[in-house]
Structure 1
Amino acid sequence: MERRKGTIVNVGSITALAPGPWAGVYSASKAALHALSDSLRVELKSFGINVMTVAPGGTKSNLGNSSAAKYDQTHDWKYYKKYEEGLRARTEISQGPGSTPAEELAKKVVASVLKKNPPAWFAYGQFSAILSVLYYAPLWFRDYFYRLVMKC
């Protein structure tokens, strides 16, 4: 604030726009971060501070691998057993073919942050386009889409 310049970068997720099944807590935490960023962006602008929300799509990381392993350790798995295929698909979807390597995402984010006027919103990677479209779709269509794709 004293320098009257700078950029705060918060990493949310594209899933915050159109949360699907089996990702409620994750999507909610990212949506909260998006809301915080939106508020800070307006509050800090008069101090010369930019706030950018990064909303990655599917990005290769250890998150998907560690999430899948947790299903095998869950005690209440019996309630979700019939949804196993969809649950595992949800945790592994960002790790599959076409997902963005973390290094590629990082380079794109850094290039965007270093611009003279960094954008307030930066979405990049697998599924970012489809989830952006689903954000504007009627809820009945979004629900139908997820039931069809995620088999729930």
Structure 2
Amino acid sequence: MIERRKGIIVNVGSITALAPGPWAGAYSASKAALHALGDTLRLELRSFGINVVTVAPGGTKSNLGNSSAAKYDQIHDWKYYKQFEESMRARTNVSQGPGATSAEELANKVVASVLKKNPPAFLAYGQFSAILSMLYYAPLWVRDYFYRVVMKC
């Protein structure tokens, strides 16, 4: 890409990197790291004609989400977390529920955006992307309230 002075790198992060909630710490942290890498690469590679786009999907129906739900079947072995089973299941189910974006719809949106003459540096799309984007800018007590009271976590 550098030799051609042209190219695009697309990193798929997550909207949870902006407003991480309970029961997804490692996932949210890994996506936040990917967002930071994308921000850095975008600046470093711009002078070579390479665009970097970070995609932050909201709730998207996927095999990852489905396999996440299956892990709770072994929760009887989780001495300290058993009391949170309902909340943990709800967290997983909400991202895979009826309002979740289909993977095909997300892919179509990403491809259309990335192929534009001037692709966006950041693309948030799908279920919960608007509310979690707003929570990113809100004071922490607002975010905590949202997860504790609204999401019952």
For the aligned pair, the TM-score class normalised by the smaller chain equals over 0.9
1:37–1:53 CA contact under 8 A, matched in 2:
yes
Q: Does structure 1 residue 48 correspond to structure 2 residue 45? A: no
The CA deviation at 1:150 is 3.6
Q: Summarize the alignment of residues 18-57 of structure 1 with structure 2, pairs less than 5 Å apart.
A: 18-57=19-58
| Counterpart residue identity of residue 52, structure 1 | V
**What fraction of aligned residue pairs are identical, expressed as a percent?**
85
* 8 Å CA contact 1:11, 1:53 repeated in 2: yes
- Provide the rounded CA distance (Å) in 1 between the counterparts of 2:32 and 2:26: 10
Count of residue pairs the alignment pairs up: 152
TM-score by length of 1: 0.96
Where 1:130 maps in the other structure, the secondary structure is: helix
Which residue identity lines up with residue 39 of structure 1 in the other structure? Answer: T
Is the CA contact (8 Å cut-off) linking 1:12 and 1:53 kept in structure 2? Answer: yes
Matches within 5 A, 1:11-90: 11-74=12-75, 76-90=77-91
Query: Which runs of no fewer than 5 residues in structure 1 stay unpaired?
Result: none
Q: Give the aligned partner of residue 94 of structure 1.
A: 95
SS of 1:71 mapped into structure 2 = helix
* Secondary structure in structure 2 of the residue aligned to 1:54: strand
Query: Over residues 64-104 of structure 1, what are the superposed CA-to-partner deviations in whole Å (9 max), with x where a residue is unaligned?
Result: 21111112225742211111111001111111011100000
Contact 1:21/1:150 (8 A) holds in 2: no
- The match for 1:123 is 124
Is the 2:60–2:100 Cα contact (8 Å) retained in structure 1?
Answer: yes
Query: Paired residue for 1:144?
Result: 145
* Paired AA for residue 119 in structure 1: P
SS of corresponding position for 1:51: strand
Q: Distance in 2 between matches of 1:76 and 1:138?
A: 36
The whole-number CA distance in structure 2 between the counterparts of 1:64 and 1:46 is 38
Distance 2:147 2:120 in 1: 30
Q: Distance in 2 between matches of 1:77 and 1:68?
A: 15
TM-score normalised by structure 2 residue count:
0.95
Q: Does 1:5 align with 2:17?
A: no
User: Which stretches in structure 2 are left out of the alignment for 5+ residues?
Assistant: none
d(CA) in 1 for partners of 2:110, 2:18: 19
CA RMSD of superposed structures (Å)? 1.1
Q: Which amino acid aligns with 2:142?
A: F
Deviation at 1:145, TM superposition (A): 1.1
- Is contact 1:83–1:151 with CA below 8 Å preserved after alignment? no
